[in-house]
Amino acid sequence: MRKLKYTFKTDILFKMLFVKHRDLLKKLIAALLGIKVESIRKFVVRNEEMPPEILGDKFCRLDINMVVNGQLIDLEIQVSNEEDYPERVMLYWAREFSTALPAGESYSMLPRTIIISIIDFKLFDCEDFHSFFQPLEVTRHTLLSDKMGFHFFELKKLPKDITKKDALLLWLSLFRAETEEDLEKIKAMEVPEMEQAINAYRTITASSEFRELERLREKARHDEAQALRHARNKEKFEIAKNALQMNLSIEDIVKLTGLTIKEVEHLRTST
């Protein structure tokens, strides 16, 4: 199988593709929200910019933030399970919701704010690939407000067999695709928007703009990893230095820190 170098989950590709192709983004959002494309009357992307200087920011989010029929919709892609993702999306929601009220307006004017997450790991202990959360009373299940909502789409739980009639599963299968064969299988279904999305994918991944932004993103990840390794090594040597002062054996210090015998010996003779 021919592994894809970049997938629809690649954050830069994801944002470039759907910001440049608003018609595809609108169809994707309609499928994720379970509404008809024709029902979307107002559709605005609020953060289409992707300046190169932000790519090195540790907290850079390449989400797509939209206004859809008066609702605030934030679309996120999350590949790795960092175990705090539910808390993070609640923070994202709180930031969006708390800054959405114009000065002097009533609280009732706050817009419905929805965070949509497409995630490449299993998050909930269930078989369903789609989960939707809203604030409910725990006994009566009475809805407190429809202005808070969280959609989670877990790619690892998608069924293997996808039919051309299910728009939601077709879109999610694009994000699940890892090989050229996966994309060709989807394209062979001859669904116009899938063919359009795959053609857009190929155009963008071949562009110099994408390649340069991806190079900067990869450099930022590499620099961050290097800095983290340096910080960890520094911490190990500090622990070893303190352990030597406490007259611990070299063997025990090696076990404690993960340093080599040679590194501990060198540290002992140089301090």
- Chain segment 50-80, per-residue pLDDT in tens: 766 666 665 567 899 999 999 999 999 999 8
Q: What are phi and psi of 75, to 5 degrees?
A: -105, 120
* pLDDT-based confidence at residue 266 (cuts at 50, 70, 90): confident
CA distance 156 to 176: 8
By CB neighbour count within 10 A (0-12 exposed, 13-18 middle, 19+ buried), where does 144 fall?
A: exposed
Summary mean pLDDT of the chain: 90
Kindly state the average pLDDT of the residues 188-205.
Answer: 96
CA distance 105 to 99: 12
Q: Is the pLDDT of residue 200 over 90?
A: yes
> 0.75 exceeded by the pTM?
yes
CA distance 157 to 38: 29
Question: What's the one-letter identity of residue 121?
Answer: F
